[in-house]
Amino acid sequence: MNLSGIIAISGKPGLYKVIAQGKNNIIVESIEEKKRVPAYATDRISALDDISIYTYDDDKPLKEIFDDIFKKENGGETISHKEDAKKLQAYLTEILPEYDKERVYPSDIKKLFQWYNLLHKAGELKMDEVEEAPAKAEKAAKAPKADKEAKEAKPAKETKEKAAVKKAPAAKKAVTPKASAKTTSAKKVAAPKTGSSRGK
């Protein structure tokens, strides 16, 4: 999930997208209202790309949690942030069982689902191409591999058959000269024998 350039500004509702960099400020656009306003260095700005959720092991980036929600909901909206706190906690437990229940407050969980739905409504939630590629690539790689193996196996069989055909004539040729040699040799030996008996 790509959350690059999307920020939250403390004291201001909603989320914003960074549009341009000024000398002493940045120009941001509201995700909901599409209005552009300046944000200053004195404002407390949080980039969603840098936000993580506390767990009992390593902290989990917000974008990865949004990935999990996106997959769970098949690309749709998720539970409303206005639902009961226990329902929100139960939902988060489903997608992130190891989240630190002492350090992640109900207000944090509420904000997490509020931001997800806000971004979803604005069409800002999209899976990275790099994340989609492995499954497609793996599927595509299996088919050519099977075809390749089938193609390689077929010529191998044909080669063996051709080799057998070539081998048979070669054996036949080898026998013929050998028999001729014996016949010629026998004649040469017999000829002198007959001649010497006539002389006597």
Q: What pTM, to 2 d.p., does this model score?
A: 0.64
Q: pLDDT digit string (tens) for 134-175?
A: 545 555 555 555 455 545 555 545 544 444 444 444 444 444
Of all residues in the chain, the percent with pLDDT exceeding 90 is 56
Mean pLDDT of the chain: 77
Q: Is the model's pLDDT at 181 over the cut of 50?
A: no
Length of the chain: 200
151 compared with 48, residue with greater pLDDT:
48
Q: What is the pLDDT of residue 176?
A: 41
